């Protein structure tokens, strides 16, 4: 069975400098989400995605390669969403 891959091309505007924009490609697979701003890459792939979002060992991770000449990721951010679950939401008392 082949894996379904979803691809999206978009223009992303800067949150502060709204006149600045960047073309990006996003690819969603069963292993994660790749974000590729046009003109960037990784040491393993010239036009590779330098930002990757995945679930690893029960937590979410954002993995980034800020340096195209470095093989290993330069940033790994782990995000444990256990306290963000909707069942933990508390209605504001009035």
Structural domain boundaries in the chain:
6-87
pLDDT of residue 91: 84
For residue 33, how many other CB atoms are within 10 A of its CB? 16
The tokens describing 5, both together, are 């891959």
CB of 24 closer than 8 Å to CB of 6: no
* Position 9 pLDDT exceeds 70: yes
Kindly report the pTM of this predicted structure.
0.83
* Structure-model confidence comparison of residues 92 and 60, the more confident one: 60
pLDDT of residue 1: 60
């Amino acid at each position: 069975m082949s894996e379904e891959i979803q691809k999206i091309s978009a223009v992303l505007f800067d949150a502060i400098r709204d006149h600045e924009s960047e073309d990006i490609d996003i690819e969603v697979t069963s292993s994660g989400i790749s974000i590729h701003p046009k003109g960037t890459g990784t040491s393993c792939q010239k036009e590779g995605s330098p930002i990757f979002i995945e679930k690893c060992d029960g937590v979410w991770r954002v993995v980034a390669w800020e340096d195209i000449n470095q093989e290993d990721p330069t940033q790994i951010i782990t995000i444990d969403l256990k306290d963000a679950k909707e069942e933990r939401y508390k209605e504001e008392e009035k």
